[in-house]
Structure 1
Amino acid sequence: MTVAAVRIAMVAGEASGDILASQLIQALRAKLPTAVFFGVGGPRMLGNGFEAWYPLETLAVRGYAEVFGRFREIIAIRRGLKRRLLADPPDVFIGVDAPDFNLALEKALKRHGIPTIHYVSPSIWAWRGGRIHKIGAAVSRVLALFPFEPALYERHGIPVSYVGHPLADMLPLADGRDESRALLGLCAQKPVFALLPGSRQGEVQYMADTFIETARRIHREIPDAVFIAPMATRETRLLFEAALHRCQARQLPIRLLFGHAHQAMMVADVVLVASGTATLEAALLKRPMVMVYKMAPFSYWLMQRIGGYLPYHSLPNILAGRFIVPEFIQDEATPENIAQAVLNLYADTVVRERLKAVFREMHLKLRQNAAEKAAAAVLGCISVAVRGNALAAA
Structure 2
Amino acid sequence: MPLRIAMVAGEASGDLLASHLIRAIRRHHPDAEFFGIGGPKMQAEGFDALWPCELLAVHGYVDALKRYRELSGIRKALLAIIRAQRPAAFIGVDAPDFNLWLEGRVKDGGTPAIHFVSPSIWAWRGGRIRKIARSVSHMLCLFPFEPALYEKAGVPVSYVGHPLADVFPLHPDRSGAREKLNLALGIRVVAMLPGSRQSEVRNLADTFIATARLLHRRHPEAVFLVPLATRETRQLFEAAVHRNDARELPIRMLFGHAVEAMTAADVVLVASGTASLEAALLKRPMVISYRIGKWQYRLMKRMAYLPWVGLPNILCNDSLVPELLQDDATADKLAAAVDRWLGDPVACRRVAQRFAELHLSLRQNTAERAAAAILPYLGDGVRS
The equivalent residue for 2:190 is 193
Q: Which amino acid aligns with 1:208?
A: A
**Does the alignment pair 1:78 with 2:75?**
yes
SS at match of 1:75: helix
Structure 1 residue 341, shift from structure 2 partner: 0.6
Equivalent in the alignment of 1:244: 241
Secondary structure, in 3 states, of the residue corresponding to 2:127? Answer: helix
1-side partners of 2:83 and 2:204: how far apart? 41
Correspondent of 2:380 among 360, 374, 385: 385
Cα deviations across residues 112-158 of structure 1 (Å, max 9, x unaligned)? 12211111111111111111101111111000111111111111110
Check 1:336–1:67 CA distance in 2 against 1; reply closer, same or farther (3 A cut): farther
Q: CA deviation at 1:349?
A: 0.7
Distance 1:152 1:122 in 2: 11
Find the residue that maps to 2:381 and give its secondary structure. Answer: helix
SS in 1 for 2:7: strand
Partner residue, 2:352: 356
Figure out how many residues of one structure are paired with residues of the other and give that number.
Answer: 383
Which residue identity is paired with 2:381? V
> So what's the TM-score if we normalise by structure 1?
0.92
Partner of 2:45: 48
Tell me the equivalent position of 1:331: 327
Q: Confirm whether residue 143 of structure 1 aligns to residue 140 of structure 2.
A: yes
In 1: Cα distance, 2:149 partner to 2:177 partner: 39
For residues 70 and 239 of structure 2, the distance between their equivalents in structure 1, rounded to whole angstroms, comes to: 27
Aligned to 1:370, which of 352, 366, 373?
366
Aligned pairs for 1:37-116 within 5 A: 37-116=34-113
- CA deviations on 1:309-338 (whole Å, 9 max, x unpaired) are 200111111111110011112121112211
Deviation at 1:73, TM superposition (A): 3.1
Contact 1:66 1:202 survives alignment (8 Å)? no
The answer on whether the counterparts of 1:6 and 1:35 sit within 8 Å (CA) in structure 2 is yes
Tell me which amino acid in the other structure corresponds to 2:35: F
Aligned to 2:215: 218
Runs ≥4 in structure 1, deviation > 6 angstroms? none
**Which one is further off, 225-234 or 56-65?**
56-65
Q: Distance in 1 between matches of 2:115 and 2:46?
A: 21
Secondary structure of the structure 1 residue equivalent to 2:225? strand
Q: 1:46 to 1:346 in 2, by over 3 A?
A: farther
The Cα RMSD (Å) is 1.8
CA distance in 2, matches of 1:248, 1:67: 36
Distance 1:252 1:59 in 2: 38
Question: Which residue number corresponds to residue 163 of structure 1?
Answer: 160
Q: 1:257-310 CA distances to partner (integer Å, 9 max, x unpaired)?
A: 2222211111111111111111111111111111111122232233234x1420
Instruction: For residue 183 of structure 1, report the CA deviation from its aligned partner.
Output: 1.3
Structure 1: where are the runs of 5+ without partners?
A: 390-394
Cα displacement (A) at 1:45: 2.2
Confirm or deny that 1:267 pairs with 2:276: no
Identity %: 58
Tell me, in whole angstroms, the C-alpha distance in 1 between the residues paired with 2:354 and 2:145: 17
User: Whole-Å Cα distance in 2 between the matches of residues 77 and 207 of structure 1?
Assistant: 33
Q: Secondary structure in 2 aligned to 1:118?
A: strand
Q: Is there any run of 5+ residues in structure 2 with no aligned partner, and where?
A: none
Seen in structure 2, the aligned counterparts of structure 1 residues 249 and 145 have a Cα distance that, compared at 3 Å, is same
* One-letter identity of the residue aligned with 1:374: A
Supply the AA of the counterpart residue of 1:337. K
- TM-score normalised by length of structure 2: 0.94
Q: Which moved more, 1:235-244 or 1:266-275?
A: 235-244
Q: Check conservation: 1:63, 1:295, Cα contact below 8 A.
A: no
Distance 1:89 1:245, change over 3 A: farther
**Preserved contact between residue 164 and residue 366 of structure 1 (Cα < 8 Å):** yes
Report the 3-state secondary structure (helix = DSSP H, G, I; strand = E; otherwise coil) of the residue aligned with 1:386: coil
Q: Secondary structure at the match of 1:133?
A: helix
Whichever residue aligns with residue 343 of structure 1, its letter is D
Counterparts of 2:345 and 2:6, CA distance in 1: 48
Asked if the contact 2:141/2:159 (under 8 Å) is kept, the reply is: yes
Task: Write out per-residue CA displacement over residues 228-277 of structure 1, whole angstroms, 9 at most, x where no aligned residue.
Answer: 12222222222222222332323322222222221111111111111111
- Whether the 8 Å contact between 2:4 and 2:381 is mirrored in structure 1 is no
| Counterpart contact for 1:228–1:257, Cα < 8 Å | yes
Three-state SS of the structure 1 residue aligned to 2:25 is helix
**1:318 aligned residue (314, 317, 320):** 314
Deviation at 1:30, TM superposition (A): 1.5
What is aligned with 1:392?
none
Corresponding residue for 2:33?
A: 36
- Partners of 2:102 and 2:216 in 1: CA distance: 48
